[in-house]
Amino acid sequence: MIAEIGHFAMILSLGLAVLLSVLPLYGASRNNTMLMNSARPLSWGMFLFLAVSFVILCYAFYTNDFTLQYVASNSNTQLPWYYRITAVWGAHEGSLLLWVLIQAGWTVAVATFSRGMPQESVARVLAVMGLITVGFLLFIIVTSNPFIRTLPFFPVDGRDLNPLLQDPGLIIHPPMLYMGYVGFSVAFSFAIASLMSGRLDTAWARWSRPWTIAAWLFLTLGIALGSWWAYYELGWGGWWFWDPVENASFMPWLAGTALMHSLAVTEKRGTFKAWTVLLALSAFSLSLLGTFLVRSGILVSVHAFASDPARGMFILGFLVFVIGGSLLLFAVKGAAVRVRGNFDLVSRENALLGNNIILIAALVVVLVGTLLPLVHKQIGLGSVSIGAPFFDMLFFWLMIPFSFLLGIGPLIRWKRDNLSKLVKPMIISGAISVGLAGLFVTVLADHFSGTAFVGWMMAIWIISMHGFELYERATHRHSFKKGITKLQRSHWAMMLGHIGLAVTVIGIAMVQNYSIERDVRLAPGESFQLNEYNFYFEGVRDKDGPNYDGYIADFEITKEGKYINTLHAEKRFYTTAKSMMTEAAIDRGVTRDLYIAMGERLDDNKSWAVRIYYKPFVRWIWAGSLIMSIGGALAISDRRYRFRKTAKNDKKLQEQEA
C-alpha cells in the first residue's frame, strides 16, 4: 500500500512538471504575471512529491519489502541497515529516482535564490528545468519503475546488493556525481531561457556563474570520490582507468571547466557570448550522453548497469530531443548575437580562449577514445579497445601548453597587455621550476623519469607564477601584509582552483612514473622486500561479517628494521550474491601509500598470491581535487553573487540591463 503511494506521488510530480514546463513559458510569451508566478509553487510541488516518493522507496528498503521487485533484486535481510538505505541508488531504477530528485532540488534552489532576477527570466529558466524533469520522470515511469510489485509470489529474501557497492565511499559518490551532472542543467536552462528571450547580456552570465561553479564543484568532488573508491575497493590500486563510464563523467567536467572560464569573460568583458552559450549547452548534453552510454548497455564497462534496449532507445530519443532542440534554437537565435571583440593578441581574453581551446581538445580526445570503439564496431570493422596509454600520452602533451598558459594567464590584463613586463618573472619562475623539479625528482625517486620531471616542472611553474601574482596583487596599493587581507574571495578561489590542479598534477606525475607494483607468491612466515620496506606475512585468520564469510591476512611492515604498521588485507565471500571480494589494506601517508591486496590461495594450500604496491604521492591527486573544490566554494560565496534583494536595487538592476 505504501509503495503505491510512492508510485502515485511520482506520477503526480510528473503532472506538476508538465504544468511547470508549459504554463510559465506561455505566461512569459504573453506577459501574463499570474502564469509566470506559478513557476515557483509548481517547482516546490514537483520537488515535494518526488521527495515523498523517494522517502517511500527508502522505507521499502529499510523494512525489507521484497514485494517490490527492485528491493528484492538489490537488498537482503542480512544487509546492514545503512547499506539497505544506500542500496536505493545501488542500481538503475533507484539511482534514476535520485537523479530526478536532485534535478527537482536544483529547480527549487533556483526558484529560491533567484529573487533578484526579472520575473520573466525566472519563469523561463524554471520551465526549461521542468521540461528536463518531465523527460526523466517519463523515462522512469515508462521503462524503469522502482515501484513494480512482485505479487502474488514474492521472494522470502532478496538477492543482495552488489558487494562492490557495500562501501562507505559509495554512500556519497553517486549523489555527489549526480549533483554535478544535473547541476549543469541549471546553466543549460539559463542559456536556453536567454536564447528564447534573445537577451544574452552580462547579467545572464552573472546569474549563471555561481550555479555553474556549484555544479562543477559537486562534479569535481564526485569524480574524486569515485577515483578514491576505485583505488581502495577494486583491489587493483589504480586511481583512473579511462573506463568509458569514467570518461562519461570526465567529459562534462572538461566542458564545465571551460564554461566556468568562458563565463568569466562574458561577464567581465561581454565577449565570447555565443561560445559560452554553446559550452553551456554542451556541458549538460555531455552529462546526458554519459547517462545514455552507461544505462543503455552499449558500452562494456565495470560500471555498466543491467541494460534494456527500450531504455537505451528512450534516452537516445531524449538525447536527440535535448541536443537537437537546443542546437536548433542556438542556430536560429545565436546568429543574432553580435559582439565587437575588441582585444589584442596578448590579453586575458586570448589567454582564456587558449584555455578553452585546450580543454575542448582534451574533451575531443576523451570523446574519440570513448566512442571510437563503438563506431568501429557499428561500421563492421570488428571490436577494438583503446588502451589507457592513448589517453595518458595525449593528456601529457595537452597539459604542457595548458599549464604554461595557466601560469601566465592570471598575470595578463584584460583587453591589452605587454608581455615585456612578464619576461623577468617568467624567466625566474622557469628557472625555479626546472631547478626544483630536478631536485624533487632526484631526492624523491631512485631513478630519473622525464615525464615525472615535466610534471613537477608544470606544477611548480603554476605555483610560482601564482605566488608572484599574489604578491603583485597584494602589494598593488598596500603593504603585502595589509594587501593580502584585502583580496576578494573570488581571487582566492582562483588561486585555490589553480593550485589544486598543480597539486593533482604532482600526484599524477609521481604515481604514474614511480609506482611499484609486484604480484608475489608468499606463504605465512615468509617476507618480501620492496625498496626499503619489508613485508612480513604473519598468517591468515577467519573473520565473518553479517552477510559474508571472510578471512584476514596480517602483514607486518618494517622499514630498515623499524616497525611501520600492521596491515589486514581481507578476502570476503558474499554468500547471497555468491561473489568473492578483495578488501585491500593500505598504509596511508603523505608521500606514499603501501597497498596490499590478497589474490587467490595457490595449489599447495599454503602460499598465496599477494599484490604489494608502493604508490608515491597518490593522495595528492585527491587532495588537489579537494583544494579545487574549496576554491569553487569560495567563488560561490563571493559577495558579488549575493543578489540585491531590495526593490530599489532591483530597479537599478533592470535599468542597467535596459
Partner 1 sequence: MNPRRKKRLGIILAIFFGISATVGLIVYALNQNMDLFYTPTEIVNGKPDGTKPEVGQRLRIGGMVVVGSVKRDQDSLRVSFDLADVGPKVTIYYDGILPDLFREGQGIVAQGVLKNATTIEAFEVLAKHDEEYMPAEIAEAMKKTHEPLQYSTEQKEGSAK
Closest approach of partner 1 to the CB of residue 364, in Å: 8
* 172 part of the interface to partner 1, by CB under 8 A: no
Considering the rule CB under 8 A, would residue 582 count as an interface residue with partner 1?
yes
Give how many residues touch partner 1 by CB under 8 A: 39
Nearer to partner 1, 109 or 609 (CB): 609
C-alpha cell at 437: 623539479
Residue 636 engages partner 1 in binding (rule: CB under 8 A) = no
Q: Where are the alpha helices (DSSP H) in 234-243?
A: none
Residue from 1, 335, 345, 379 in contact with partner 1 (CB under 8 A): 345
Question: By CB under 8 A, is residue 523 in contact with partner 1?
Answer: no
Integer CA distances (angstroms), 360 to 330, 366, 398, in order: 19, 10, 10
- Tell me which of 383, 420, 479, 485 binds partner 1, using CB under 8 A: 383
Strand-pair partners of 556:
536, 566
Would you state the cell numbers that stand for residue 632, as one nine-digit string? 569553487
* Beta carbon nearer to partner 1, 30 or 377: 377
CA distances 181 to 252, 253, 356, 438, Å, are 7, 9, 20, 40
78 binds partner 1 per the rule CB under 8 A: no
Site string for partner 1, 585-624 (x = CB under 8 A): --------------xx-xxx----xxx-------------
575 binds partner 1 (CB under 8 A): no
Strand order from edge to edge, sheet including 585-587: 516-522, 608-616, 592-601, 585-587
Residue 534 bridge partners (DSSP): 529, 558
Per CB under 8 A, the list member of 115, 424, 486, 521 interacting with partner 1 is: 521
If one asks whether residue 142 binds partner 1 (CB under 8 A), the answer comes out as no
CB 431 within 8 A of CB 420: no
Indicate which single residue of 335, 340, 385, 450 sits in contact with partner 1 (rule: CB under 8 A).
Answer: 385
12 or 520: CB nearest partner 1: 520
Q: Which listed range, 113-121, 160-168, 191-199, 406-414, lies at the site for partner 1 (CB under 8 A)? A: 160-168
Footprint on residues 351-380 left by partner 1 (CB under 8 A): 357, 361, 364-365, 368, 372
Site for partner 1 in 282-301 (CB under 8 A): 300
Bridge partner list, 569: 553
- Of 109, 386, 436, 564, the residue at the interface with partner 1 (CB under 8 A) is 386
Residue 487 in the binding site for partner 1 (CB under 8 A)? no
CA–CA gap between residue 389 and residue 451 (Å, rounded): 13
Q: Identify the bridge partners of residue 582 per DSSP, sorted by sequence position.
A: 571
Q: Nearer to partner 1 by C-beta: 164 or 411? A: 164
> CA–CA separation, 598 vs 62, rounded Å?
33
Pick the closest to residue 594 from 607, 609, 584 (CA basis): 584
Three-state secondary structure along 192-221?
Answer: HHHHHHCCCCHHHHHHHHHHHHHHHHHHHH
DSSP string of 91-138, one letter each residue: SHHHHHHHHHHHHHHHHHHHHHS-TTS-HHHHHHHHHHHHHHHHHHHH
Residue 393 binds partner 1 (CB under 8 A): yes
Q: Does 15 bind partner 1 (CB under 8 A)?
A: no
The residue ranges that bind partner 1 (CB under 8 A) are: 162-164, 300, 345, 357, 361, 364-365, 368, 372, 382-387, 389-390, 393-394, 397-398, 519-521, 578-582, 599-600, 602-604, 609-611
